[in-house]
Structure 1
Amino acid sequence: MLVSSETMQPLQFSNKTHNNKLYIPSLGLTLVLLISLASPASSCTEQEKTSLLQFLTELSWDSGLAASWQNNTDCCKWEGIICRQDRMVAKVMLASKGLEGHISECLGNLTRLQYLNLSHNSLSGGLPLELVSSSSITVLDVNFNQLNGTLHELPSSTPAQPLQVLNISSNLFAGQFPSTTWKAMENLIALNTSNNSFTGQIPTHFCSSSRSLVVLNLCLNKFSGNILQKLGNCSKLRELRAGYNNLSGTLPDELFNTATLEHLSFRNNDLHGAIDSTRTTNLRNLVTLDLGGNRFGGKIPDSIGQLKKLEEFHLDNNKFSGELPSALSNCTNLVAIDLKKNNFSGQLAKVNFSNLPNLKTLDVYFNSFTGTVLESIYSCSNLTALRVSTNKLTGQLSPRLIDLKYLTFLSLTTNSFINIANALHILKSCRNLTTLLIGSNFKGELMPDDNTIDGFENLHVLDIESCKSFGGIPLWISKLRKLEVLILSENQLSGSVPAWIQTLSDLFYLDISNNNLTGEIPTTLMDMPMLKSEKNEAHLDPRVFELPIYAAPSLQYWVPMALRKVLDLSNNKLTGEIPMEIGQLKSLLSLDLSFNHLTGHIPQSSCNLTNLQMLDLSNNNLTVAIPVAPNALHFLSAFNISNNNLEGPIPSGGQFDTFQNSSFDGNPKLCGSVLTHKCDSAEAHQAIILSRKPTDCKVAFVIAFNAFFGVGVLYDQLVLARYFS
C-alpha cells in the first residue's frame, strides 16, 4: 500500500516547520501532555503483572522484551512500563520494539491504563474490542503495524468512553466504519485512520457524538461517494484530511461553517465544482488548503486574500482558469504556492510577490502564463524552489535572480526565453543551485563555452535539452564536480565526445543523443566511476529536487529516489567500433548507441553488462554474427539490433525468446526461429554450440526497477529527460 507523507508526520495539531512537500500531519499525540500521571511506584499488583505476562506470551517475537519482564521482578520497573503511585500500570510504551504476533485482549484488564503505544512494530491480527471499549485508556496508538480485519461494533448501550486519541493508521484494516462504536466516543479529540483500506462513505457519526473532535485524518483509504453535510457538525475541527480516496461530488456548504479549521485537504479524489467566493471567508484560520488532484474549476476568487493565516496553498492538477487574483498578495504568510497543471493565463505580475516574504516554493508548471518572470518574485529572498516551466514566458532572465540566495531548484523549461549566455552568467551566482532545468528555450543559439562560467559548484542535475543550440559540448561543464545527471539531447552540438566526461566522478546519467557529434566513442567514457560501481541504484541527494519530477501525468516521485544508470549517445554521427571496454560498465541499466555510423562487431565483453535492461544498437553498420554474450543479460526487457549488417543464427533461449521480430529487422543475413529466414541445419548446429559455450560472465541479481521497465516496454519510451518538466 502506498505510504504518503500524509501519514508519516509526527502526531500533532499544527506545525510551524515548513517545507515544499505535501504536508498532512497525523494525530496530535501532544494530547498526551493533557494527561497527568503520578510518578512511578515501587511495585505493581499481581493482577497487573499477570495481564502483562499474558500479553508477552501471545507475541511470536518479543525482541528481547522477556529479558526485562521477569515474573519475580516488579513490573513497574519493566521496560516500557510506567506505574502510578498506587502500583497500577498507567502507561505501556512499546513503540518501535520489533514486536510480532497478536495484541492480547488481556491489556484491557489493566484498569488504570491510560496510555498504550504499540506503534511501529509488526503486530498482526485484529484490534481487541477490550482496548477500544476500555474504561480507562485515553490514548491508543497502534499505527504502522500489520493489523487487519474490520473494527468491532460496540453495543448501543455502551456508556461514554474516555478515549481521546485513537491512531490506527498504516495498517491493513478494511470494511466500513461501525456506526455504534462512535456513539460511545464522546471524548474523542483526535482520530487517525489513514493508510488503510476502509470503504464506504466518509463516516460522520463522530460529528454528532464527539463534539470536541479536533483532528480527523482519513486519507489513503478507499472511501467513496459524496462528502456528507453532517461533516460540518464537527464544529471544533482544526484538521480535516481525506486525501487519496475515491470521493466525488462537491464540497458541502456546511463544511465552510467550521471556522476553526486550520488544515483542510481533499487531495487526489474526484471532486469538482468551484471555490465558493463567499463561504471561503469563513475559514479565516486556515493554514493549509490542499485541493490538488481533483476536477475543481473556475477562477480563484478574490476572497482568497482574506485567508491571512494561509501558508500552504495547493490547487495543482485541476481545471482552474483565468488570471491569478491580485488579492493573493494579501496572504502574506504563504510559504508554498502550487498551481501546476491547470489552465491559468495572464501575467504573473497580477500578484505582488514582494508581499510574500516567507514564500519558499512557487510552482506554476504547465499553465498558459505570459509575459516575463516578474521582478517582484526576486523579492522573495527565502525562495528555495521556482518552477515556471511549460508556459508562454518570454524575454531574458533578470540580474535580480541572484537575490534568490537560497534557491536550490530552478526549472524554466519549455518557454521562449532568449540569450542563454546571459542566463548562465546570471545563474552561476546562485551558488546553492542543485537542480537547473532550462531546456526548450534559447532556440538556435550558440552553446556558451566560456571559461568564465565558473559557478554551479553544487549542481547535481543540469538539463539544457531541446534548444537546437550549436557549438560543442562546453568545457565549463567539466568543472561541475558534483554533477550526477547531464542532459544535452536534441541540440545541434558538433565535435567529438570529450574525454573529460570521465572525470565527473558522480555522473550516472548521460544523455547527449540527437546531436551532430562525430568521431569515435572515447574509451575514457567506459571508465565512468558511477557506471562501473557495483551499486546498481543511484540515489540523488535529498536536496536536489525541491519539487517533484514526473514520469507520467498522474505520477510523481519525491527524493531520495533511485534513478536508472543511463548512457545515451543515439542519433549522432559517431564512427568506429564499440569499445571493448564497454564491459566495464557493470551497473549500467540502459545503453543506447542507435542511429550512428558504428562498425565492427558487438563486443563479447557486453556479457558483463548483466544488469542491463535496455540495449539499442540499431541503425548502425555492425557486422559479423551476434555474439552469444547477450544471452547472459537476464534482465534485458528491450532489445534492438535492427538495420545493421549482422549475419548468422540468432541465439536461442533466455531473453532472446521474448523479443519481437522487429528487434532483428534489416539484417537479411540473420536467421532464426523468430524470423522468416530459418537457419539451415549447419547454422542451427552452430547456434546450439554457441549457446552451450561456457563464458566467464558472472550473473548479477538486482531488484528490477519495475516503475521504469517491464516486459514489452518500448526501448525509447522512458527517456529520463522527459521527467524533468
Structure 2
Amino acid sequence: MATSTIACLEQEKSSLLRFLAGLSQDGGISKSWGNGTDCCVWEGITCSGDGVVIEVSLASKGLKGQISPSLGDLTSLSHLNLSYNSLSGVFPEELMSPSSITVLDVSFNHLKGHLQELNSSVSDRPLHVLNISSNRFIGELTSITWEKMRNLVTINASNNSFTGQIPSSFCISSPSFAVLDLGYNQFFGSIPPGIGKCSNLRILKAGHNNINGTLPDDIFSATSLEYLSFPVNRLQGTIDDALMMKLSNLVFLHLGGNRFSGKIPDSIGQLKRLEELHMGHNNISGELPSSLGDSTNLVIINLHVNKITGELAKVNFSNIPNLKILDLSANYFTGTIPESIYSCSNLTWLGLSFNKLHGQLTEKIENVKSLTFISLSHNNFTNITRALYILKRLRKLNTVLIGGNFMHEAMPEDEAFAGLENIQVLGINDCALTGKIPNWLSKLKKLELLLLRNNKLSGPIPTWINSLNFLRYVDISNNSLTGVIPTSLTKMPMLKSDKNSVHMDQIVFQMPFFLPPSLHYRTSTAVPKMLNLGNNKFTGAIPMEIGDLKELLSLNLSFNNLNGEIPQSLSNLRNLMTLDLSSNHLTGEIPSTLENLHFLSKFNVSYNDLKGPVPIGGQFSTFLSSSFAGNPKLCSPMLVHHCNLAEAALSSPFSTKEYVDKVMFIIAFSLFFVIGVLYDQTILSRYFLLNRLR
C-alpha cells in the first residue's frame, strides 16, 4: 500500500526491478511491478510521504530465485519481509549493513551458506528484529556481528545448521534484548555466562542442539524469563532449589531429553505463573514434591521416563484445576491413582503407564469428561471388566491403552459396552487374557489401531473384521488363535485402499504416542499399516486374496502352521517393507516376482520346507542368509547349497524355455566363433606357407 503523494524515486524503482530480475518465479508480482507505474503503489511496497521506500513485504508470495543485493540500496528501508517463500542462494551481506533496517524476516526459505560477519569498523546497526529461521545456514554466529546490534530485541535463528558455541555478547551489547531462539541447530559447548545480564530477556530457546554442562547460576538472574527451553541436549547436574524460585515469572519450562539428576526442586510450587513443566527423559529421582500442587496454573505436567518414586497421592491435584495433560509414565510410582486427579475436569491426556501402580479404576474417573487419551498399561491393575464398564462412560475417549495389567483374567465377552464407539486406538495387550476375540469389538466402527498381542486368546479370527472400515493396524500376535486365515481379513477397506482415509477423524496426539519397538507418533495416520498374525496356530494356505491388501507396509504370518506355497499375489503389495513368513510349513519355491517389492527391507522365510533357487534381483541382494535358514532345499550363492544349471534356470525371470533357448544360442554362437577362428587360422597358415615356398 502506498502512503506517499509523490512518485517513488527512479533509483529506488531500479533497485526493486533488479530484485525482481533475480527471481526465477515472481509469484505474479511482476503484473503489479510495471516499469511505467509508481513503485509506491506496487504490491508489497510501502513508501513514506516523500516517495521513499520504507517497507518491502512479500511473505508467502511463491518467490523463487536469489535475493538481489540491490535491496540494500533502499537507504530508508526499515522493514523487509521475504518469509515463507522458496528463495535460495546466500544471504546478501548488503542487507545486514544498511543503517535503516529495523525488522528483517527471511524465515522459511532455502537460503544457505554463512551469515556474513560485519566489519568491526562498521557503526552500530538499528536492527530490532532478525528472523532467519528455517533455512540452511551454516557456520558460527560470531560475537563481532552482534556487538554492532545494540538495539536488538529478537533473534530467531532456529532450524538451521549453525555450529560453534552460543555467542556470549547478546545481553552485553543489547540492553533491550528479549527473545533468543537457537533451537534445532548444531551448537555445542556450554551455555555461556552472561545470560543473567539480560534483564529484559523473556524467551530463551536452544533445544535440539549438542549443548552440554550445567545450567549456569547466572541464568537464574534473568528474572524476566517467561519461557526457558533447552530440550534434547546434553545438559546435566541438579536444579538448585534456591535459584529456581528466582524465576518467578516463568510460564514455560522445558528441560526434557537431557541428563538432569536429583529431585524436582520444592520451590517449583512458588512459580505461580507456571503453565507447562516438561522434564521428561532425564534421570530425575526422589518423590514428587507436594508443592507441585501449589503451581495452580499448570496446564501440562510432563515427567515421563525418569526415576521418580513414591505415591502420587503426595500431590493434591485438585488444586490444579486447569491441568489438561498429565504424563508420569515410565517411572517407579507406587500405590493407587489418587482421587484428586479425577477432580481435574479439564484433563484430556492421562499417561500413567509403566509404573508400579495397583488397584482398580473407580467411578470417579467419570468426572473427567474431557478425557480423550488414557494410558494405564504395564502396571498391576485388576478387574478388566470393571475398567471397561467405567471407561465406556467417557464419551470423548479416542485412545485407550490398558495392556500389561489384569494378568490371566478373562477377556470380557459382554456385548453391553455401548459407549466405546468413539475409540480409535485400543490396546489390551500383554495381559495373558483367556477367551476369544470379543464380538463387542465389532461395534467400534471408528477403530484404527487394535493391539491384542501377547494374550492367550483362542478360536478363529471373526468374520466381521472387515466391517471395521478404518482399521489399519492389527496386532494379534502371540496368542492361541486357530483356523484358517479368513478371506474377510483380506477385504479390510483401509488395507486395500486409502480412499477411506478421506473420511477419517485423524487423531493429533497432544503428546507423542508410543508403539514398540521404540517409535513415537504424533498422529494416528502416521502409524504404518500393519497386519501381525505371528505366533498363533493358524492352519491352511495363505489366501491368494492377501495380494489385495495393497496398502500394507508390514505383514507377519510367522510361527504358525501354514502350508502350501507362497502366493504369487504377494508381489502386488508394492508398499510392503516387512514380510515375515518364517517357521511355518510352506513348500514350493520363493516367487521370483517378489523382486518387484522395491521397498522391502526385512524378509524372512526361514524354517519352512521351501526349495529351489533364491531370487537374486531387487532387494534380495541385501538380505542375510539367516532369512532363508532351515530350508535345506533352497539354493543360492550365499547358502551352503549352491544352484546347478537347471536350478539357476528356474531362478531366471524368463521361462525355462526362454532360458534354454538363450543357453542354446550362447553355445551355438560360441561353437561358430571357435570354428571361425580355427578356419581363419588354417587359411592364414596356408597363405604364409605358400609365400615361403615362392
TM-score scaled to structure 2, two decimals? Answer: 0.91
Residue 117 of structure 2: aligned partner:
153
Given candidates 390, 400, 407, the residue that maps to 1:436 is: 400
Aligned residue type for 2:326: L
Aligned residue type for 1:526: T
> Taking structure 1 as reference, are residues 235 and 73 closer, same or farther at Cα in structure 2, changes over 3 Å only?
same
Residue 427 of structure 1: aligned partner:
391
1:466 Cα offset (Å): 0.5
Is the counterpart of residue 218 in structure 1 residue 182 in structure 2? yes
Residue 378 of structure 1: aligned partner:
342
Is the counterpart of residue 475 in structure 1 residue 434 in structure 2? no
Residue 603 of structure 2: aligned partner:
639
> Taking structure 1 as reference, are residues 539 and 58 closer, same or farther at Cα in structure 2, changes over 3 Å only?
farther
Does structure 2 conserve the Cα–Cα contact (< 8 Å) formed by 1:185 and 1:209? yes
> Taking structure 1 as reference, are residues 373 and 242 closer, same or farther at Cα in structure 2, changes over 3 Å only?
same
Tell me the distance in 2 between the aligned counterparts of 1:126 and 1:290. 33
> Taking structure 1 as reference, are residues 420 and 80 closer, same or farther at Cα in structure 2, changes over 3 Å only?
same
> Taking structure 1 as reference, are residues 662 and 693 closer, same or farther at Cα in structure 2, changes over 3 Å only?
farther
Taking the TM superposition and a 5 Å limit, the aligned residue runs for 1:7-22 are none
1:543 Cα offset (Å): 3.0
1:225 Cα offset (Å): 1.2
Which stretches in structure 1 are left out of the alignment for 5+ residues?
Answer: 1-36, 695-725
1:383 Cα offset (Å): 0.7
1:199 Cα offset (Å): 1.7
> Taking structure 1 as reference, are residues 657 and 218 closer, same or farther at Cα in structure 2, changes over 3 Å only?
closer
Given candidates 583, 596, 602, the residue that maps to 2:566 is: 602
Tell me the distance in 1 between the aligned counterparts of 2:219 and 2:141. 21
Does structure 2 conserve the Cα–Cα contact (< 8 Å) formed by 1:305 and 1:328? yes
Residue 94 of structure 1: aligned partner:
58
1:164 Cα offset (Å): 0.8
Tell me the distance in 2 between the aligned counterparts of 1:369 and 1:252. 31
Is the counterpart of residue 268 in structure 1 residue 232 in structure 2? yes
1:562 Cα offset (Å): 2.2
> What is the count of residue pairs matched by the alignment?
658
Aligned residue type for 2:257: G
Tell me the distance in 1 between the aligned counterparts of 2:388 and 2:259. 39
Does structure 2 conserve the Cα–Cα contact (< 8 Å) formed by 1:508 and 1:566? yes
Does structure 2 conserve the Cα–Cα contact (< 8 Å) formed by 1:538 and 1:563? no
> Taking structure 1 as reference, are residues 692 and 613 closer, same or farther at Cα in structure 2, changes over 3 Å only?
farther
Is the counterpart of residue 278 in structure 1 residue 246 in structure 2? no
1:362 Cα offset (Å): 0.5
Is the counterpart of residue 565 in structure 1 residue 515 in structure 2? no
Residue 347 of structure 1: aligned partner:
311
Does structure 2 conserve the Cα–Cα contact (< 8 Å) formed by 1:539 and 1:563? no
> Taking structure 1 as reference, are residues 446 and 628 closer, same or farther at Cα in structure 2, changes over 3 Å only?
same
Tell me the distance in 2 between the aligned counterparts of 1:447 and 1:156. 75
Given candidates 465, 470, 479, the residue that maps to 1:501 is: 465
Q: Deviations over 1:562-596 (max 9, x none)?
A: 22211111111111111121111112111111111
Aligned residue type for 1:357: P
1:130 Cα offset (Å): 2.5
Is the counterpart of residue 68 in structure 1 residue 68 in structure 2? no
1:561 Cα offset (Å): 5.4
- From the two aligned structures, give the one with the greater helix fraction: 2
Tell me the distance in 1 between the aligned counterparts of 2:77 and 2:165. 33
Larger radius of gyration: 2
Tell me the distance in 2 between the aligned counterparts of 1:690 and 1:554. 42
Given candidates 156, 163, 168, the residue that maps to 1:204 is: 168
> Taking structure 1 as reference, are residues 77 and 568 closer, same or farther at Cα in structure 2, changes over 3 Å only?
same
1:294 Cα offset (Å): 1.0
Residue 327 of structure 1: aligned partner:
291
1:192 Cα offset (Å): 0.8
Does structure 2 conserve the Cα–Cα contact (< 8 Å) formed by 1:386 and 1:410? yes
1:38 Cα offset (Å): 9.2
Residue 365 of structure 2: aligned partner:
401
1:495 Cα offset (Å): 0.8
Is the counterpart of residue 513 in structure 1 residue 486 in structure 2? no
2:357 alignment partner, SS class:
strand
1:219 Cα offset (Å): 1.2
Does structure 1 conserve the Cα–Cα contact (< 8 Å) formed by 2:335 and 2:358? yes
Q: Which piece of structure 1 moves more, 184-193 or 305-314?
A: 184-193
Given candidates 125, 131, 135, the residue that maps to 2:99 is: 135
1:129 Cα offset (Å): 2.6
1:555 Cα offset (Å): 6.4
The higher relative CO (CA closer than 8 Å, separation ≥ 6) is in 1
Residue 662 of structure 2: aligned partner:
none
Is the counterpart of residue 677 in structure 1 residue 641 in structure 2? yes
Tell me the distance in 1 between the aligned counterparts of 2:606 and 2:517. 31
Does structure 1 conserve the Cα–Cα contact (< 8 Å) formed by 2:196 and 2:219? yes
Tell me the distance in 2 between the aligned counterparts of 1:661 and 1:181. 58
Tell me the distance in 2 between the aligned counterparts of 1:66 and 1:591. 53
> Taking structure 1 as reference, are residues 152 and 642 closer, same or farther at Cα in structure 2, changes over 3 Å only?
closer
1:63 Cα offset (Å): 2.2
Tell me the distance in 1 between the aligned counterparts of 2:653 and 2:67. 61
Q: Deviations over 1:6-31 (max 9, x none)?
A: xxxxxxxxxxxxxxxxxxxxxxxxxx
Tell me the distance in 2 between the aligned counterparts of 1:527 and 1:596. 21
Tell me the distance in 1 between the aligned counterparts of 2:169 and 2:620. 59
1:661 Cα offset (Å): 2.2
Tell me the distance in 2 between the aligned counterparts of 1:426 and 1:692. 65
1:560 Cα offset (Å): 6.6
2:531 alignment partner, SS class:
strand
1:44 Cα offset (Å): 1.8
1:204 Cα offset (Å): 1.8
Residue 178 of structure 1: aligned partner:
142
